[in-house]
Amino acid sequence: MSGPPLELPMVAPAPVAEESDLKLSADARRYRVDGMDCAACARSAQKAVAALPGVQVAEVSFGTASLRLVGSVDDGAVTAAVGRAGFAARPIGTFRAGAGRAFWRSDARATSTSASVALLVAAAVVHLAGASDAVTMLVYLSSMGVGGWPIARAALSALRHRSLDMNVLMALAAAGAVGIGAYAEGAWVLVLFAVGTTLETFALDRGRRSMERLMELAPARVGVLVDGREQTVGVEDVGVGTEFLVRPGERIALDGLILHGESTVDQAAITGESIPADKRPGDAVFAGTLNVHGGMTVRATRVAGQSTLSKVADLVEQAQASRAPSERFIDLFARIYTPLVFLAAVLMTVVGVLAGGELDTWFYRSLALLIVACPCSLVISVPVAVVSAVGGAARRGILVKGGQALEDLARVRAVAVDKTGTLTSGAPVLTQILVEDSRLDETEALAVMASVEARSEHPLAAALVAAAHSRGLRLQDPEEFVASPGRGVEATIAGRRLWAGGPRVLTDRTASVPAGLSVLEQGGKTVVALGEKDRVLALFGLEDTPRPEAAAAVVALRDVGVERITMLTGDAEPVARAIAGRTGIVDWRSGLLPEGKLQAVEEMQRRHGPVAMVGDGVNDAPALAAARIGVAMGAVGSDVALQSADVALMGDRLDRLAIAISLSRRTVGIMRFNVVASLLVKGVCVALAPFGLMTLVIAIAADMGMSLLVTLNALRLLQTSAGARAMD
Ligand code: ADP
Ligand code: MG
């Protein structure tokens, strides 16, 4: 196994990775779709685009107000098709395009809504002033016309695609009201509907655009070094390998490695971590993060469009657009509910009149039922919660991959944690060398060992190499390097076939295990042996300390209701015991190979339901994939970890997991409340309609009120809650 450090090994890539890769493929384009106010609208828009020749995939997400498109079709045709469906589309090439534009300036619908409100008020005033019925009617009608034309247009388009969406229902109700001379009520219906949906869009935009706003953090221009002289250029024109300058107090424009200069960098934009990180030459810096004090020269490692920030933003948008499992049920319900109530409305008039009732009375009651037939607040209950929760989590440096992950996370009662790099800092330090072969001294043994480990990505290997470097030792280039995950490595150095590995390898290779092993192990040290054939040349004792927040993170997990926390490690029992003791963990399994970790996770899952497995990626890929929720720590440096994990903790902070779990529980709670409240209100309205107790104005006010309520309720998830750091 080789590859850059910190990357997950390419073992069994999770399906998410493939799906995301597909979605991130170069020919997938994205458009912002404005003016949608219901999930059914999203379907109408999607059908309209999908019907275009050349379109392979068209997905419209109501939650993120966006369209994702694969196919050969030009922008003009797409925007026209969306326009015919009653909405406005504009391409988003990068996240920067169109961001920051206030919605009321870009949305024509808001303007017509305001005008219709003014006209409605005018109509009421005119009416009260005692103007003639004809004049009053005219003003009401003009209010309806102004507020209602976008609704009517969208309704026509929906009808063309045979969908009975809320625009159709409202347009029919208003038209019916005019038909029986109830102008004022017809106007109220359309205007309230327009106001409600506009407000809702306004509220939702906060969640939808949270990532766009993040993207604006990365400067558009950057000072690059050309022949030692600084020159300011647009970030799009900067290639990999270009050197650029970062001044104190400036945001970093591109991902890169520091060449000169030391500084501290506030990486909150990506990791949600408020304490600035110390950076020195050789460290990675990320676009959009804030350089606090020092000046630096940085070599770009990625072009602007590939930066970690834009990848994160893209993944967040995809997650926001994803459908939560409970949403499928609601959509199914809505698909049955709406036609059913529509039918009931028609039947009510027919039956009412046949039973000797008055046509106008029963027709009016049916109109009220039409409005009640709109599942407005119900269908947005779940997606608005997902949008807000995913956006709110991202602000705290937690990338949750969508509604499914949120719902799974909310059910987690058991967590498995990897030891090295997750509970511990992952930066072990060499503390002791026991030479077993009299022909070697400590320094020689270390030089050979570090050469054997030079190509390994394991933290233990890194520690040995670092120790050799710090003693000024020269390493030899290993040949025929082979790594076996969870065991150790083999390499040929100067013609000698050598191996390095833990106790497992040691007992496999030699019959007489040196006494030094248990001496080191009893001291809580991780032991790595260097050997040739069946001879042990030296033993190395390394110490890895728990992360400062590990114990608090374990307590926090218990506090959010995680009953079982199990540490899984490939390390030896005494070391496992020592680390468990220092982090407050009571369950641990030691001496596990990667397959052993996978089995342990599966076993936990059988006993305790969905398990969240936290790992740093090295050697843990199979277990992370097997767990219902694979949680990657310190994902900021690793694209593979970002892509394949279900939850990625951007920073190196284990304590964020408890925050993620409590956020997901709150999210599911809010979803439930929203769904139940919507159903209750609908139920009451349906029950009251046949008795004439439901006026059009009450019906529409209940509808819009509930829609706004569920939206605002969900938006609370965007706020950084107690326990999490206040970012704004
Ligand atoms: P953990 O569960 O603590 O993250 P790993 O599964 O990564 O541990 O590794 C388990 C054990 O395998 C280590 O404690 C070590 O003994 C051995 N090992 C793995 N890789 C190497 C390596 N490159 N060099 C030496 N020993 C290794
Ligand atoms: Mg590990």
Ion ligand 2 neighbours, Cβ < 5 Å: 418, 420, 618-619
CA dist 158 and 367 (Å) reads 19
pLDDT digits (tens, 9 = 90+) for 274-324: 788 999 999 999 999 999 988 999 999 999 888 888 888 888 888 888 888
Cα dihedral 277→278→280→282 (10° resolution) = -30
Contacts (Cβ under 8 Å, ≥6 apart) of 389: 400, 406, 663, 664, 666, 667, 714, 717
In the reported structure, the alpha carbon of residue 10 is separated from the centroid of ligand 2 by a whole-number distance in angstroms of 15
DSSP string across 15-66: HHHHHHHHHTSTTEEEEEEES--SHHHHHHHHHHHHTSTTEEEEEEETTTTE
The enclosing H or E element of 600 equals helix 594-608
Nearest Cα neighbor of 651 from 385, 88, 366, 275 is 275
DSSP string across 347-380: HHHHHHHHTT--HHHHHHHHHHHHHHT--HHHHH
pLDDT of residue 12: 32
Q: Is the CB of 486 under 6 A from ligand 1?
A: yes
Nearest Cα neighbor of 150 from 110, 208, 184, 192 is 110
Say whether 437 is catalytic: no
Range scoring the smallest mean pLDDT among 199-203, 219-223, 369-373, 514-518: 199-203
Which residue has its alpha carbon closest to ligand 1 atom 14? 571
CA dist 340 and 299 (Å) reads 63
pLDDT above 70 for 586: yes
Range scoring the smallest mean pLDDT among 50-54, 103-107, 163-167: 103-107
138 DSSP β-pair partners: none
Question: Which ligand places an atom closest to the C-alpha of 460?
Answer: 1
- Residue 474 DSSP label: P
pLDDT of residue 9: 33
In the reported structure, the alpha carbon of residue 502 is separated from the centroid of ligand 1 by a whole-number distance in angstroms of 7
CA dist 687 and 470 (Å) reads 79
Alpha carbons within 13 angstroms on the beta-carbon side of residue 269 total: 26
The one catalytic residue in 37, 107, 314, 418 is: 418
- DSSP collapsed to 3 states, 96-133: CCCCCCCHHHHCHHHHHHHHHHHHHHHHHHHHHCCCCH
pLDDT of residue 551: 95
In the reported structure, the alpha carbon of residue 631 is separated from the centroid of ligand 2 by a whole-number distance in angstroms of 13
Between these two residues, 721 and 221, which has the higher pLDDT value? 221
pLDDT digits (tens, 9 = 90+) for 7-48: 333 333 333 333 333 333 345 788 888 777 677 778 888 888
pLDDT of residue 247: 93
Q: Widest CA span of the chain, in angstroms?
A: 114
At 107, the pLDDT band (50, 70, 90 cuts) reads low
Nearest Cα neighbor of 621 from 414, 466, 457, 427 is 457
| Residue burial 51-64, b: 16+ Cβ < 10 Å; e: rest | ebeebeebbbbbbb
Contact between 610 and 582 under an 8 Å Cβ cutoff? The reply is no
Structure tokens at 358: 């008055």
Q: Is the CB of 47 under 6 A from ligand 1?
A: no
For range 552-576, the mean pLDDT: 94
Which residue bears the tokens 């670092």?
A: 466
Q: What is the mean pLDDT of the chain?
A: 86
Provide the angle, in degrees to the nearest 10, between the axes of the packed helices 108-128 and 183-208. 150
CA dist 262 and 291 (Å) reads 10
For range 92-97, the mean pLDDT: 47
At 604, the pLDDT band (50, 70, 90 cuts) reads very high
Best residue among 482, 569, 595, 620 to mutate for probing ligand 1, ranked by most atoms within 8 Å of CB: 569
Alpha carbons within 13 angstroms on the beta-carbon side of residue 676 total: 6
Best residue among 420, 507, 521 to mutate for probing ligand 1, ranked by most atoms within 8 Å of CB: 420
The enclosing H or E element of 484 equals strand 479-484
pLDDT above 80 for 134: yes
Strands 611-615 and 564-568: unpaired
pLDDT of residue 617: 64
- DSSP collapsed to 3 states, 541-595: EEECCECCCHHHHHHHHHHCCCCEEEEECCCCHHHHHHHHHHHCCCEEECCCCHH
Question: Which ligand places an atom closest to the C-alpha of 486?
Answer: 1
Alpha carbons within 13 angstroms on the beta-carbon side of residue 309 total: 33
pLDDT of residue 197: 84
Strands 414-418 and 611-615: parallel
567 DSSP β-pair partners: 417, 588
The enclosing H or E element of 460 equals helix 459-470
In the reported structure, the alpha carbon of residue 629 is separated from the centroid of ligand 2 by a whole-number distance in angstroms of 17
At 171, the pLDDT band (50, 70, 90 cuts) reads very high
CA dist 569 and 620 (Å) reads 10
CA dist 632 and 8 (Å) reads 9
* CA angle at 174 for the pair 169 and 175, rounded to the nearest 5°: 100
Type of residue found at 392: G
Contacts (Cβ under 8 Å, ≥6 apart) of 563: 413, 414, 608
Structure tokens at 99: 């961001």
pLDDT digits (tens, 9 = 90+) for 153-164: 888 888 887 878
Question: Which ligand places an atom closest to the C-alpha of 616?
Answer: 2
Helices (H), 298-324: 308-321
In the reported structure, the alpha carbon of residue 656 is separated from the centroid of ligand 1 by a whole-number distance in angstroms of 26
First to last CA, the chain: 43
Best residue among 8, 458, 633 to mutate for probing ligand 1, ranked by most atoms within 8 Å of CB: 458
For range 170-194, the mean pLDDT: 93
pLDDT of residue 87: 81
